[in-house]
């Protein structure tokens, strides 16, 4: 059911739909919105410890659909992967911009 949201291309309107699997929530946000801000705008709690510096990885989310619709890995995220604090299927929501429709989930929801 969630993937239906990915079928509608909103890019011409400069907006993207972010679906938060397991919560029943989704939101349409402006292109380039950070994933953490989209989640909070949708009313979801997102833990963080490092002030969005890509150090703690507490804000990480698993990408279920639309990986290519996210900004490229930041240097901080590459470091977290090297430290084995971030899985290949995860992104730190504080470092990741939404560039198209995506579906994500998190272990803390």
**Residues at the site binding ligand FES, with contacts judged by CB under 6 A:** 48-50, 52, 54-59, 92, 94
Three-state SS for 7? helix
Q: Read off φ and ψ for residue 44, nearest 5 degrees.
A: -100, 145
Closer CB to ligand FES, 48 or 71, in the complex: 48
CB of 26 to ligand FES, least distance (A): 21
Residue 57 CB: number of other CB atoms within 10 A?
Answer: 21
CB of 6 to ligand FES, least distance (A): 24
Three-state SS for 6? helix
Closer CB to ligand FES, 59 or 102, in the complex: 59
Give 15: exposed, middle or buried? Use CB within 10 Å, 0-12, 13-18, 19+: middle
Closer CB to ligand FES, 27 or 90, in the complex: 90
CB of 67 to ligand FES, least distance (A): 18
Closer CB to ligand FES, 21 or 95, in the complex: 95
Residue 66 falls in which region: left (phi positive, over 0), alpha (psi -120 to 50) or beta: left
CB of 45 to ligand FES, least distance (A): 13
């Amino acid at each position: 059911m969630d993937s239906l949201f990915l079928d509608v291309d909103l890019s011409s309107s400069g907006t993207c739909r972010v679906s938060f699997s397991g919560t029943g929530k989704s939101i349409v946000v402006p292109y380039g919105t950070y994933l953490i801000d989209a989640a909070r705008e949708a009313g979801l709690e997102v833990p963080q410890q490092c002030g969005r510096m890509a150090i703690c990885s507490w804000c990480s989310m698993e990408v279920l659909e639309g990986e290519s619709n996210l900004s490229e890995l930041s240097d901080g995220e590459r470091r977290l992967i090297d430290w084995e604090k971030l899985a290949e299927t995860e992104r730190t929501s504080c470092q990741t911009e939404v560039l198209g429709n995506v579906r994500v989930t998190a272990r803390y929801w």
